[in-house]
C-alpha cells in the first residue's frame, strides 16, 4: 500500500506472522516526510488489525474522525484522520527502534495531508490483509 502526496509517502508491505507463535501480520514500513526518511517494521495482532479495518471503513464512508494502528511492542504507530469539516485527510505516525549497544532510541515522527480519494484503495488494501489474501 502506498499513500503519497508530492514527495511525502508511507509504504506498507504486509507479511503473515509466524503461525507457530502468532496469528498476526507483520508490516515493513517506509516513510518520507518533508525530507526526513525512515523505515521499520511492525507486528499487529489479528484483533487489532480487524478493528482498525472496521474503523477505516467508517472513516471512508463518513470522511470524519480518525483511526489509529500501533505495533506490539510500540515501535510504530499510525493515525489517519480528517483535518477539517470538508473531509480532507492527513496521516501521522511514528517509527522508532531501540539500539541496544548504544542505549539510544532512534525516532522519526511524521505527518502530511493526502488526497481523500485514496481512502477506498487504503480500505481495499486492509481488506485483503485482514482476509489473509495478500501476496507474500
pLDDT of residue 136: 44
DSSP string, 76-95: EEEEEEE-STT--EEEEEEE
pLDDT of residue 102: 84
Q: How many CB atoms lie within 10 A of CB 20?
A: 5
Is the predicted pLDDT of residue 16 greater than 80, yes or no? no
Classify burial at 92, counting beta carbons within 10 Å of its beta carbon; exposed 0-12, middle 13-18, buried 19 or more.
middle
What share of the chain in percent tops pLDDT 70? 93
Helix axes 119-131, 46-62, angle to 10 degrees: 160
Domain spanning 2-131, CATH class: mainly beta
With cut-offs at 50, 70 and 90, classify the pLDDT of residue 134: low
Q: What residues does 104 pair with on adjacent strands?
A: 99
Query: pTM of the full predicted structure?
Result: 0.88
pLDDT of residue 34: 97
Nearest Cα neighbor of 37 from 113, 102, 110 is 110
pLDDT per residue over 56-115, tens digit each? 999 999 999 999 999 877 789 999 999 998 989 999 999 998 888 888 889 999 999 999
Amino acid at each position: 500500500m502506498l499513500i503519497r502526496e508530492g514527495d511525502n509517502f508511507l509504504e506498507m508491505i504486509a507479511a503473515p506472522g509466524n503461525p507457530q507463535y502468532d496469528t498476526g501480520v507483520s508490516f515493513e514500513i517506509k516513510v518520507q516526510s518533508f525530507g526526513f526518511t525512515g523505515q521499520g517494521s511492525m507486528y499487529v495482532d489479528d484483533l487489532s488489525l480487524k478493528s482498525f479495518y472496521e474503523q477505516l471503513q467508517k472513516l471512508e464512508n463518513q470522511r470524519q474522525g480518525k483511526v489509529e494502528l500501533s505495533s506490539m511492542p510500540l515501535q510504530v504507530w499510525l493515525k489517519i484522520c480528517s483535518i477539517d469539516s470538508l473531509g480532507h485527510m492527513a496521516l501521522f505516525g511514528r517509527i522508532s527502534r531501540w539500539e541496544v549497544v548504544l542505549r539510544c532510541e532512534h525516532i522519526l515522527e511524521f505527518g502530511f495531508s493526502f488526497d481523500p480519494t485514496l481512502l477506498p484503495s487504503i480500505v481495499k488494501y486492509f481488506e485483503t490483509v485482514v482476509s489473509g489474501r495478500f501476496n507474500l
